[in-house]
Structure 1
Amino acid sequence: MQRGERFNRADRVIKIGFWINAWLMVLKLAAGHFGRSEAVFADGVESACDFVGIVLTLVALKMGRKPFDADHPYGHGKVESLAAVFVAVIICATGLWILYGAAHTILDARYQDPRLIAVIAAALTIVIKEALYRYSVQVGGALGSPALLAIAKDHRKDALTSIATLVGVGGAFFGVGIMDPIAAGLTSFFILHIGFQGFRISAHELMDGQPATEEVAEIAALAAATEGVDRVHEIRARRSGQFLIVDLKLDMDPEMTVKRSHDIATRVKERIFERFSNVGDVMIHINPSDEPHEDLNRL
């Protein structure tokens, strides 16, 4: 997949989510206010918070696609993980806000009688948000984009929120008023969990944590199977936005000319690029295979 096509697909997912979220935000705020449901209105405020996350992601995708330069020799992809951290913080803050509001309502025992429009808004949100989640996670997984996967988690969080909201507003609609704030309070714990998970993954990427072991093992196996490579001495990888940056140490025949070893290293890199569209760069170090050697580093 070409670089431009990758970013175009990411843009499409974000823009679709942006406009649907806009419509749902207005719907839930109106339905919560005029339908007299604290849970649905809080759901609408939570959707408003989503806008901040989506805008941050749009900015991150635009910045992240900039090619490498003298100040950023590894590209600008890390900004996606940084945006994902901000989205996670927003999700956690929203969960705390909903939990506080629900607790306050229960302690004050000031329950409202919701109208049917609030029930319909909650049910409609579940269907739409789950569809957006599946679409976003499919594209985000294919592109290996942390920003898109963070947005996907946010869509799933909204769907879970609306399930609890529907139960609460439905129960209150049929006369059990306390169910509305209880549902909002329980939902806040789901929101906090999703926000924490998103923060943990994004922080791991910002700290150059090792990506999925299976993919790294596949890259190593492909390099080891290349003619002229005796074995893969070491492989490390880190994520930069939608791309992986791979460091390879290869053992080769010590009698090999510099040109021959260079050609083999180039072939290894070409094979990795052909097989893995999400690999942005491969840096290769060559070691002689006939003698033990100790890696020098200060990490």
Structure 2
Amino acid sequence: MLRGERFNRADRVIKVGFWINLVLMVMKLAAGYYGNSEAVFADGLESACDFIGIGLTIIALKVGRKPFDADHPYGHGKVESLSAIFVSLVIGGTGAWILYAAVETMVIGNYQAPSLIAVGAAAITIVIKEALYRYSVKVGDTLKSPALLAIAKDHRKDAITSVATLVGVTGAWFGFRIMDPLAAGLTSFFIFHIGYQTFRTSAHELMDGLPEMEMVAAIADLARSVKGVESVHDIRARHSGQFVIVDLQLGMDPQMTVKESHDIATEVKRRIFDTFANVGDVMIHINPSDEPHDDLIRL
């Protein structure tokens, strides 16, 4: 997949989520206000907070698609992970706000009887947000985009929130009025969990944490399969937004010419690019295979 096509697909997912989220936000705020449901109204305010996360993601994708330059020789991809960190903080802040509002209502004991419109708004949100989650996570997994995956988790968070909201507002509609703020409070803990997962994954990528071991092992096996490569060692990889940057060392016959070893290394790199669409760059170091090699490193 071409670089521009990757970012265009990500843009489409973000824009679909943006406009649908706008419609849901207006619907839930109106249904919560006129339908006397604190849980549904809080759900609408949560959707408003999501605009911060979506806006940050749009900016991150715009910056992240810029090619490498003199100041950023590895490109600008890490801005996606940085954006995902901000999204996780928005998710966590939303959970804290919902928990505070629910506890305050239960302490005061000012319960209201919600109307059927609030029940319908919660049910519609569940269906739409779950569909958005599946759409976003499918494209996010394909592109290996941390920003898209963070947005997908945010959609799943909204779906979970709305399930609890539906249970609470339905119970309150049948007369158990405490269930409305209680559902909102319990939902906040699911939100905290999703925010923590998003933060942990993004922080791992920002700290150059190793990608999936299956991918690293597959790259090493592919390099070994190239004629002329006698060993592969000290393979490292790290995320840069939607791409992975790979470093590896190849052991080759010490009698080879520089041109021969260079051609083999180029073939290794070409096969890696052909097989792994999310690999952005491969840096190869060549060592003589007939003697042990201790890499010089200060890290």
Same fold (TM over 0.5): yes
Q: Deviations over 1:61-116 (max 9, x none)?
A: 00000000000000000000000000000000000100011011111111010011
State the secondary structure of the residue aligned to 1:175. Answer: coil
Shift in Å, 1:233: 1.4
Query: 1:99 & 1:233 partners in 2: Cα distance?
Result: 50
State the secondary structure of the residue aligned to 2:233. Answer: strand
1:227 equivalent to 2:230? Answer: no
- State the partner residue of 1:37: 37
- State the partner residue of 1:190: 190
- State the partner residue of 1:173: 173
State the secondary structure of the residue aligned to 1:232. Answer: strand
Shift in Å, 1:231: 1.0
State the secondary structure of the residue aligned to 2:4. Answer: helix
Shift in Å, 1:284: 0.2
1:273 equivalent to 2:248? Answer: no
1:81 equivalent to 2:100? Answer: no
Query: 1:212 & 1:12 partners in 2: Cα distance?
Result: 26
Q: Deviations over 1:145-194 (max 9, x none)?
A: 00000000000000000000000000001100000011000000000000
Query: 2:172 & 2:44 partners in 1: Cα distance?
Result: 18
Query: 2:220 & 2:19 partners in 1: Cα distance?
Result: 42
Q: CA RMSD in A?
A: 0.4
Shift in Å, 1:4: 1.1
Shift in Å, 1:234: 1.6
- State the partner residue of 1:23: 23
Query: 1:108 & 1:43 partners in 2: Cα distance?
Result: 20
With structure 2 as the length reference, what TM-score do the two structures score? 1.00
- State the partner residue of 2:51: 51
Amino acid across the alignment from 2:198: G
Query: 2:50 & 2:242 partners in 1: Cα distance?
Result: 22
State the secondary structure of the residue aligned to 1:235. Answer: strand
State the secondary structure of the residue aligned to 1:113. Answer: coil
Query: 1:130 & 1:100 partners in 2: Cα distance?
Result: 26
With structure 1 as the length reference, what TM-score do the two structures score? 1.00
Give the % identical residues. Answer: 75
Shift in Å, 1:293: 1.4
Query: 2:233 & 2:3 partners in 1: Cα distance?
Result: 30
Query: 2:166 & 2:41 partners in 1: Cα distance?
Result: 12
Query: 1:223 & 1:96 partners in 2: Cα distance?
Result: 49
Query: 2:30 & 2:224 partners in 1: Cα distance?
Result: 60
Query: 1:215 & 1:131 partners in 2: Cα distance?
Result: 29
Shift in Å, 1:232: 0.4
Q: Which runs of 4+ in 1 moved over 6 A?
A: none
Query: 2:293 & 2:221 partners in 1: Cα distance?
Result: 21
State the secondary structure of the residue aligned to 2:159. Answer: helix
Amino acid across the alignment from 1:219: I
Shift in Å, 1:119: 0.3
- State the partner residue of 2:209: 209
- State the partner residue of 2:99: 99
Query: 1:116 & 1:60 partners in 2: Cα distance?
Result: 40
Amino acid across the alignment from 2:264: I
User: How many pairs were matched up?
Assistant: 299
Amino acid across the alignment from 1:117: I
1:264 equivalent to 2:271? Answer: no
Q: Which runs of 5+ in 1 are unaligned?
A: none
Q: Which runs of 5+ in 2 are unaligned?
A: none
Q: Deviations over 1:24-72 (max 9, x none)?
A: 0000000000000000000000000000000000000000000000000
- State the partner residue of 1:108: 108
- State the partner residue of 2:284: 284
- State the partner residue of 2:150: 150
